[in-house]
Amino acid sequence: MLDNSEGYVTEDGRKIGGVVMEMKNITLRFGGVVAIKDISFDIREGEIRAIIGPNGAGKSSMLNVISGFYVPQEGEVWFHGSKRPQMRPFEVAQQGIARTFQNIALFEGMSVLDNVMTGRLGYMKTNIFQQAWWKGKAEAEETENREAVEKIIDFLEIQHIRKTPVSRLPYGLKKRVELARALAAEPKLLLLDEPMAGMNVEEKEDMSRFILDVNDEFGTTIALIEHDMGVVMDLSDRVVVMDYGKKIGDGTPDEVRNNQEVIDAYLGVSHD
């Protein structure tokens, strides 16, 4: 099924398209430490792709390679059919990749609305003088972008905190605001770094629902890193499993769940 380059259809009837991003033999080193060792996998259009693994497996490093923050020493990143040259993170963002962070990176003093508006930065074309003058172009531009942002605020059900400074919000809501900001960029590929970390069961359920809804409603391709195995297995279409910088499994949740190497990595192996 996965060999079909035209994509596949999931159990719940969603159509998954062709390959959007392909990682080819990626190796990433920090001095003598090998964080990622010769890993290859692909992400298909419209799918939810998870990268899992125990602590220190290299998951976040992998996400940072995708987002252009780290440049691998070896290997190639292909995006939409062309090899990606070395890029700075903002150039990657311009290509349509948005992300959230493991340790929330919002502007604490700004309101939720303003934070989400920063996600629209790529769509603002007016210069500093036009914005200072405000009337006319800058105003029209803000109205237009505010509309897009309000749709996302409605979608993620955060209307009640629209004007609240982010610093006053509980952790679970901050995570949702981060997701809102990433969505505001209308990404083609959304990267989520441990979206469920530190949440209670209810918050996790909410977040899972939002991730599924985003994928379903906007057709956004999502790559996520997550610790919580239960969540990953329920959410994702395909899973990459990493351990000590190596890929030890790749496939549907069921395939991965029954993979002996994966079981060993998670439960440990007895040495008798």
Partner 1 sequence: MGRRERLAQTQSGAEGMHSLLALLHRNATQFGDAPAYREKEFGIWQCWTWTEAAKEIRAIALGFLELGVEKGDHIAVIGRNRPAHYWSMVAAQMVGAIPVPLYQDAVAEEMTYVMEHCGAKYVVCGDQEQVDKVIEIQEKVHQIKHILYTDKRGMRKYDHSQMNALEDIMAEGSAGHARFDAELDKRIAEVTYDDTCVMLYTSGTTGKPKGVVLSNRNVIESAKNSADFDHLTRNEDILSYLPMAWVGDFIFSIGQAYWCGFCVNCPESADTMMTDLREIGPTYFFAPPRVFETQLTNVMIRMEDAGKLKQRMFHHFMAHAKKVGGLLLDGKPVGFGDKLKYALGNLLVYGPLKDTLGYGRFRVGYTAGEAIGPEIFDFYRSLGINLKQLYGQTEATVFITVQPDGEVRADTVGVPAPDVELKIDDSGEIHYRSPGVFVEYYNNPDSTASTKDAEGWVATGDAGFIEESSGHLRIIDRAKDVGKMADGSMFAPKYVENKLKFYPDILEVVLFGNGKDRCVAFINIDLTAVGNWAERNNVAYASYQELAGHPRVLETIRGHVEAVNKSVAADEMLSGCQVHRFVVLHKELDADDGEMTRTRKVRRGFVEEKFHDIIAALYDGSGQVSTTTEVTYEDGRKGSISATLEIVDAPVVPVAQHKVAAE
Least gap, CB of 63 to partner 1 (angstroms)? 28
Q: Backbone phi, then psi, for 59, in 5-degree steps?
A: -65, -50
Question: Least distance to partner 1 from the beta carbon of 228, Å?
Answer: 19
- Kindly state whether residue 159 participates in binding partner 1, applying the rule CB under 8 A: yes
Give min distance, CB of 162 to partner 1, in A. Answer: 7
Minimum distance of partner 1 from residue 167's CB (angstroms):
16
The residue (of 60 and 215) whose beta carbon lies closer to partner 1 is: 215
- Closer of 88 and 209 to partner 1 (Cβ): 209
Residue closer to partner 1 by CB (options 102, 164) is 164
| Whether 210 contacts 30, CB under 8 Å | no
Q: How far is the CB of 10 from partner 1 (least distance, A)?
A: 11
Q: Could you tell me the CA-to-CA distances from 257 to 178, 205, 225, 254 in Å, in that order?
A: 30, 21, 16, 5
What gap in Å lies between CA 70 and CA 114, rounded to an integer? 28
The answer to whether 135 and 208 are in contact (CB under 8 A) is no
Smallest separation (angstroms) from partner 1 to the CB of 269: 36
Say what angle helices 137-155 and 201-218 make with each other, to 10 degrees.
Answer: 120
Q: How many CB atoms sit inside 10 A of residue 230's CB?
A: 11
Fill in the per-residue mask, 127 to 156: x = in contact with partner 1 (CB under 8 A), - = not in contact.
-------------------xx--xx-xxx-
Give the footprint of partner 1 on residues 184-243 (CB under 8 A): 213, 216-217
Among residue numbers 11 through 50, which ones bind partner 1 (CB under 8 A)? Answer: 12-13
Q: Is the dihedral of CA 82, 86, 87, 92 positive or negative?
A: positive
Q: Which residues of 81-119 are buried (b: 16+ CB within 10 A; e: fewer)?
A: eeebeebeeeebbeebbbbbbeebebeeeebbbebbbeb
Residue closer to partner 1 by CB (options 76, 213) is 213
Contacting positions for partner 1 (CB under 8 A): 12-13, 146-147, 150-151, 153-155, 157, 159-160, 162-163, 213, 216-217
